[in-house]
Chain A
Amino acid sequence: MYERSDQAPSVKAVKIIVSGGFGVGKTTFVGAISDIEPLATEAELTEVSVGIDDTSAVAAKSTTTVALDFGRIRLDDSLVLYLFGTPGQDRFAFLWDDLVVGALGAVVMVDTRRVMDSFAALDYLEDHGIPFLLAINRFDGAARFDTEEIREALRIGVQVPILEFDARVRDSVKHILLTLIEQVLIFRLAGTRTPAPAY
């Protein structure tokens, strides 16, 4: 339909979701490795109030927004990786439906002081067959946890990696991303019917 010469250079984008409770360090994670300062955009949580006001498409919607941080990493001339930081709580499920489609995988950040904050995200990712790992942000002064205790507390299968890391340190964040990508590859190469990362 369009002549080749008429097209801008083609760039593919892939995304990884970074989830976790408030204050767990999602933005720090994204900022540690992003080429750009993390940007904040707003996503709508839109509900159609059926039958309340049929005359106005606008007034019939009840919309509220939630902030979504993201960063961008240029991988090569035609490939970009986006990191989307998103709250993991239950009531953001509809935001997730939109966000996780096509995601390569997800990093669930766990704050050992508030482990339960990650329950909703874990349930969601398991239900939707999205590969993920658990990343425990090492807060200064916080007690060290045995990762196996956390696995037990969160009822996480042995196939899910649990790693301790420091969200402020680029190499540490890079290691988390690399581990996630390798895990996705292992699943795919093994032919496990996990996760079609794209639909």
Chain B
Amino acid sequence: MNGPVRRPAPPSDAGYLDEEDGDDDALIRPFLVTGGRTRPLQDGLRVETMISARPAALSAPVRFELHAILKLCQFPRSIAEVAVAVGVPLGVAKVLVADLLTSGLANWEQPDEISIAMLERIRDRVRAL
């Protein structure tokens, strides 16, 4: 690719991000499920990282949200899907999933470099869709 070309700033869509006026609680609440923690105990988790519950994990005495994730991840699911299913933002989902990983209740598919062979496999599968 060419070197980066600086372009003029795009017009802004002012107002799009405005939250419900003055409702600060709405912004803080999601992190209550994590006890206020915003950093996952496990590094390297991505939105597409696949999580699977370990077989015996369902009988572990964990709180509601974690149990819900373990139920969902009886088959491998991405963190993005976990976030939707539990009804929390992605960052919260990462913290919760990391708790399950560090306590040995779930496994994750660690990312590795996408090899040429993998790229060819992806290409062939997409072509066959």
B61 within 8 A of A: no
A168 within 8 A of B: no
Q: Once the chains bind, are A7 and B52 in contact (CB under 8 Å)?
A: yes
With A22-B13, A82-B48, A174-B126 known to touch, is A155 a contact of B116 (CB < 8 Å)? no
With A8-B76, A90-B9, A122-B7 known to touch, is A182 a contact of B123 (CB < 8 Å)? yes
Q: Once the chains bind, are B50 and A80 in contact (CB under 8 Å)?
A: yes
Q: Once the chains bind, are A63 and B31 in contact (CB under 8 Å)?
A: yes
Q: Once the chains bind, are A157 and B2 in contact (CB under 8 Å)?
A: yes
Q: CB within 8 A of A198: which of B7, B16, B28, B111?
A: B111
Q: Once the chains bind, are A188 and B90 in contact (CB under 8 Å)?
A: no
Contact with B along A42-55 (1 / 0, CB 8 A): 11111000000000
Q: Once the chains bind, are B54 and A2 in contact (CB under 8 Å)?
A: yes
Q: Once the chains bind, are A177 and B126 in contact (CB under 8 Å)?
A: yes
With both beta carbons as reference points, the residue of chain B lying nearest to A42 in the complex is identified as B89
Q: Once the chains bind, are A59 and B28 in contact (CB under 8 Å)?
A: yes
Q: Once the chains bind, are B123 and A40 in contact (CB under 8 Å)?
A: no
Contacts between chains A and B (CB distance < 8 A), count = 202
A68 vs B111: C-alpha distance when bound (angstroms): 21
Q: CB within 8 A of A119: which of B8, B16, B49?
A: B8
The residues in B between 86 and 129 inclusive whose CB is less than 8 angstroms from any CB of A are: 89-92, 107, 109, 111-114, 116, 118-123, 125-127, 129
Q: Once the chains bind, are A102 and B126 in contact (CB under 8 Å)?
A: no
Question: A101 to chain B: closest CB distance in Å?
Answer: 6
The residues in B between 24 and 64 inclusive whose CB is less than 8 angstroms from any CB of A are: 27-28, 30-32, 36-38, 46-50, 52-55
Q: CB within 8 A of B119: which of A56, A120, A184?
A: A184
- Among B3, B37, B123, the one with the most A-chain Cβ atoms within 10 Å of its Cβ is B123
The residues in A between 121 and 140 inclusive whose CB is less than 8 angstroms from any CB of B are: 122-123, 126-127, 129, 131
A12 vs B111: C-alpha distance when bound (angstroms): 8
A197 vs B16: C-alpha distance when bound (angstroms): 31
With both beta carbons as reference points, the residue of chain A lying nearest to B51 in the complex is identified as A8
Question: A70 to chain B: closest CB distance in Å?
Answer: 5
Question: Could you list 26 examples of A-B contacts with CB < 8 Å?
Answer: A2-B54, A7-B54, A8-B73, A11-B52, A13-B78, A22-B16, A33-B129, A39-B84, A42-B89, A42-B90, A44-B91, A58-B28, A58-B36, A61-B28, A61-B38, A63-B28, A70-B80, A79-B122, A84-B80, A123-B4, A126-B3, A159-B1, A159-B2, A178-B127, A185-B116, A197-B113
Instruction: Point out residues on B near A: beta carbons under 8 Å.
Output: 1-13, 16-17, 19, 27-28, 30-32, 36-38, 46-50, 52-55, 73-76, 78, 80-81, 83-84, 89-92, 107, 109, 111-114, 116, 118-123, 125-127, 129
Instruction: Point out residues on A near B: beta carbons under 8 Å.
Output: 2, 6-15, 21-22, 33, 39-46, 56-59, 61-66, 68, 70, 72-73, 75-76, 79-82, 84, 89-91, 98-99, 101-102, 104, 116-120, 122-123, 126-127, 129, 131, 154-155, 157, 159-160, 174, 177-178, 181-182, 184-185, 188-189, 194, 196-198
